[in-house]
Structure 1
């Protein structure tokens, strides 16, 4: 009976842990712009499209990795930006954009592409292409070390 109680507790704990799994807290572009005004933090913009297989692979494999989730949430305001979406408009620095026009303004020409912005919302660099979890974190760490105090 005691063994059964221990097994039930372990199964229950494992189930709760699975449901409590953290995820990247994706924002819209304008939400990140507002957030960094109140609490300055770098911005990671994931520019993607619906047809991009590598974008889907990033979502499925890299962005579900616990270390990537923790690192991105701790160091960035993460933004999802659809590189071809024309129907949603927002204002940034006094100009109106769609997600597609913002991607063009950021000079994104391939997908997936990760645009890194500093706390003043200026583009620092891009990390184009699919990246596995460890190289993705390493690339972000290098940028954070280079552009923060």
Structure 2
């Protein structure tokens, strides 16, 4: 019996080690993203001349966790260099946010940004003005060109479709 348990432990130990390693790697990558409070991001945007990416999420949302685990780590350098990053927990009923001279609950602010479900992304200009939103999960490969279109301010001169057609390899 002891011999059987020892063999089982030998088989399971590497799996436990690897799962712990990958989990800590994801956590380490997630810690590289500096999520700022919403009002702080709004206030810093003008001085840094960076647009704002608002991640709208909820604790129970599996796709939100997938974005956090897979998408943001894949784009961390682009996100950090070109955007101010903030998050709004849509289900936090105690939080309020100051935006354009008014105070909003989390759900009301996300509705103002046209987000009806989670996950959702909202892009605001460096002046804090609404640019666009994305509802639902989006992969890193699909999000990357949108980040470039926004961060290069190409949205001021051309549609996303035109931007993509000019940047195809």
TM-score by length of 2: 0.69
1:138 shift after superposition: 1.8
CA RMSD of aligned residues (A): 2.2
Q: Where does residue 118 of structure 1 map in the other structure?
A: 125
The SS at the match of 1:64 is helix
Which of 43-52 and 86-95 deviates more? 86-95
Q: Where does residue 71 of structure 1 map in the other structure?
A: 78
Structure whose alpha-carbon radius of gyration is higher: 2
Contact 1:118 1:147 (8 Å CA) reproduced: no
Which of 24-33 and 135-144 deviates more? 135-144
Q: Where does residue 104 of structure 2 map in the other structure?
A: 97
| 1:84-127, Cα deviation, whole Å (9 max, x unpaired) | 22201232222112222211111111211111111111111112
Count of residue pairs the alignment pairs up: 130
Gaps of 5+ in 1: 1-17
Gaps of 5+ in 2: 1-24, 158-169
Distance 1:53 1:134 in 2: 19
Q: Where does residue 136 of structure 2 map in the other structure?
A: 129
The SS at the match of 1:97 is strand
After TM superposition, the structure 1 = structure 2 runs for residues 1-149 of structure 1, keeping only pairs within 5 Å, are: 23-65=32-74, 68-145=75-152, 146-147=154-155
Distance 1:23 1:33 in 2: 20
Distance 1:128 1:144 in 2: 19
Report which of the two has the higher share of helix: 2
| 1:10-47, Cα deviation, whole Å (9 max, x unpaired) | xxxxxxxx798561111111010111132221000011
* 4+ residue runs over 4 A deviation: 18-22
Contact 1:26 1:80 (8 Å CA) reproduced: yes
The SS at the match of 2:93 is coil
Contact 1:48 1:83 (8 Å CA) reproduced: yes
Distance 2:62 2:87 in 1: 16
